A and B are shown apart, each in its own frame.
Chain A
């Protein structure tokens, strides 16, 4: 540990941490653009310059050095004394801000970044109200750097965060700074557009409105968005994300800094993988033998289906397929509901969608430990969680393949099957095997051949409409909040399971989690990443 003095206040930090990071973490207001905790330091924006006390070579006294030093590039050493509040430092901040705004088009009213733009914030805090520039501004119209991203070079501050991201994290090197000095600009190499699977992150790390997402372009002004904390359900990495939504619609997803799991990034699969939530194909009402029924009737029917099947041979002919898209709490509730009626019911961990292999970044890496980001091959968020719940409950269990094989032999009289996948998942094999099961209860987001022949089909909610806990591939349990209410006519899955389990009132994930703690060890330490200081995320 080192003790350094910033603006006269002693701050404790790890030896070697950049002084800028120490200062910002300690709550000092220091402007900066180019520094990003996940990228290499280039000290190019010149906004974080500070004064440092050093030894005068003539007298040997400790004096404030006349030259300003970039704080991002200066590692903290014990006993160091720096300041950010001197007239010199302030003067530098004003001058640098003026320089950045020389050719800036000042088109904030039509810029999507307005409201979360560092140029705006710093102009208010450190800039000048008026520009002394009288010459015409240089103009550099927008261009497309990839199929998903636009570049407005006019608004760029050349912090090179995007360039470094493509180089260091994605490993694909699409972006570069071309030309020099005031003619410098960001561009993609000819014939190599920005198309890597992490490219959405360059829009997030761009501190100004230079890189914008085509998908979100002009959709909303950012101050209208409400943010909910969630987990990405698209693979077993379990990246923490922010869901930006309003008026019952998701508008975009952003990564939420999480040093244990996804650090600062998410992949495009996750970022743009929410579109199915607003599909008009969704199941929106419970269907009893193909006819729409009320929720009361549907839940009564579920119990009526479960009871006789449960009585025969202690319910050996009953199976419940818990989808790895379910939260732990939901899996627990459903398993409890089925086991209450049929004590010997088989618990099955549902279909696990898989890609061919994990994708490691920087591209070309094979060592998982060195990877900066991994898109897992397992395309579901909670296989570990569901398996843990099954293990905790004990009794007869089966894998999905075993279950299908047994079903083919006609072992099961009743199966409660949970889907919840964003894509079609019922294969020919699966529906053939399940045609031998005489009674089916299907709980899914989208209609399928299964839900069509089910005795009872219950609509499921997308993850943005649910709350609960996902356990990722490494066994880290992370809770997620609900962002949207369920669509009209639907109930949160956990809400109706809660009712079926005979519990009163509104479902809250926390309440159910408390009941599970004794049995499911995985849920004992929940991991919620701490909030980071501004700019350090």
Chain B
């Protein structure tokens, strides 16, 4: 085989500039033209933070919230699906026996480390009762790490603040059916 390197390499050299091109004036003028054209076009820039962008509320993945059911109780049933699926391992739950008759478990503690979160939305997808949801809020601000550890109260408050423009979409709570004396008379509103 011949020297394949020589055969395969394509040697190129810079093109020679003409005398006019060497003055650079046509390029400068063309550049100014572009600037001028954009001055009269529609503007895309926003004056953040005075002006804010319209978010796509339904699918933007911002800060989490913990939904309430129609009676104002936390909707979460502490099934641990979200901490199990979470790739960043930022959700921490302590489960307890629920004080309500229609449900087995509820979260005594529910914490999300928003600094660790990667906002993938898997927790929302995996939740069997649509209790955890991502809102379109992105202003995640705080002075300390501790502030960024959102507890149950803070997450529920986020629901109260955002439910106006993003109501809870989910199904009815996966309740344990109401105790009845007669067997077979109550329907099971299951998954």
A interface list, Cβ under 8 A from B = 105-107, 109-111, 136-141, 183, 217-219, 221, 223-224
Contacts and interface: CB of A to CB of B under 8 A. Distances in A.
A105 B177 contact: yes
A107 B104 contact: yes
15 contacts: A105-B176, A107-B174, A107-B190, A109-B128, A110-B103, A110-B174, A136-B184, A137-B190, A139-B177, A139-B180, A139-B184, A141-B176, A141-B179, A221-B84, A224-B80
Contacts of A217: 97
B81 interface: yes
Given A107-B191, A139-B184, 13 more contacts: A105-B177, A105-B190, A107-B174, A107-B190, A109-B191, A110-B77, A110-B78, A136-B186, A137-B188, A139-B177, A218-B97, A223-B84, A224-B84
Which secondary structure dominates chain A's binding surface?
loop
A107 B176 contact: yes
B61 interface: no
Interface string B106-148: 0000000000000000000000110000000000000000000
B187 A136 contact: yes
A224 B79 CA distance: 13
B96 interface: yes
Interface string B37-68: 00000000000000000000000000000000
A14 B129 CA distance: 51
A320 B81 CA distance: 53
A34 to B, nearest CB: 24
A269 to B, nearest CB: 26
B182 to A, nearest CB: 9
Contact of B80 (A105, A138, A221): A221
A221 B105 CA distance: 12
Interface of B: 77-81, 84, 95-97, 103-105, 128-129, 174, 176-180, 183-184, 186-188, 190-191
B84 A138 contact: no
Contacts of B104: 107, 110-111
A183 B104 CA distance: 23
Contacts of B188: 105, 136-137, 139
B81, B128, B184, B186 — which one has the most chain A CB atoms within 10 A of its CB? B184
A171 B165 CA distance: 63
A113 B174 CA distance: 17
A183 B177 CA distance: 18
A461 to B, nearest CB: 27
Contacts of A141: 176-177, 179
A150 B119 CA distance: 39
Given A110-B79, A139-B177, A140-B183, A218 B95 contact: yes
6 closest A-B pairs by CB: A109-B79, A136-B187, A110-B104, A141-B179, A218-B95, A137-B188
A137 B177 CA distance: 10
Contact of A109 (B81, B178, B179, B184): B81
Given A217-B97, A218-B78, A109 B186 contact: no
Contacts of B178: 139
Contacts of B96: 218
Nearest to B77: A110
B183 A139 contact: yes
A221 B187 CA distance: 28
Given A218-B78, A221-B84, A106 B191 contact: yes
A136 B182 CA distance: 13
A442 B129 CA distance: 55
Contacts of B176: 105, 107, 110, 141
Contacts of B129: 109
Nearest to A223: B84
A194 B184 CA distance: 27
Contacts of A224: 80, 84
Contacts of A218: 78, 95-97, 105
A217 B96 CA distance: 8
Nearest to B177: A139
B183 A138 contact: yes
Nearest to B175: A107
Counting chain A CB atoms within 10 Å of each CB, which of B80, B96, B97 scores highest? B80
Nearest to A139: B177
Contacts of B190: 105-107, 137
A134 to B, nearest CB: 11
Contacts of A107: 104, 174, 176, 190-191
B63 to A, nearest CB: 24
A144 B2 CA distance: 88
Nearest to B108: A218
Nearest to A219: B95
Contacts of A138: 183-184
Contacts of A139: 177-180, 183-184, 186, 188
Nearest to A218: B95
A199 B169 CA distance: 44
B67 to A, nearest CB: 16
Nearest to B103: A110
A141 B180 CA distance: 8
A210 to B, nearest CB: 14
A223 B84 CA distance: 9
A246 to B, nearest CB: 12
Contacts of B179: 139, 141
A153 to B, nearest CB: 10
Contacts of B105: 110, 218
B85 to A, nearest CB: 11
Contacts of B180: 139
A140 B183 CA distance: 7
Contacts of B103: 110
A223 B177 CA distance: 26
Nearest to B190: A106
Contacts of A110: 77-79, 103-105, 174, 176
B78 to A, nearest CB: 7
Contacts of B191: 106-107, 109
B98 to A, nearest CB: 9
Nearest to B105: A110
Contacts of A140: 183
Nearest to A140: B183
Interface centre among B96, B129, B176, B179 (most CB of A within 10 A): B176
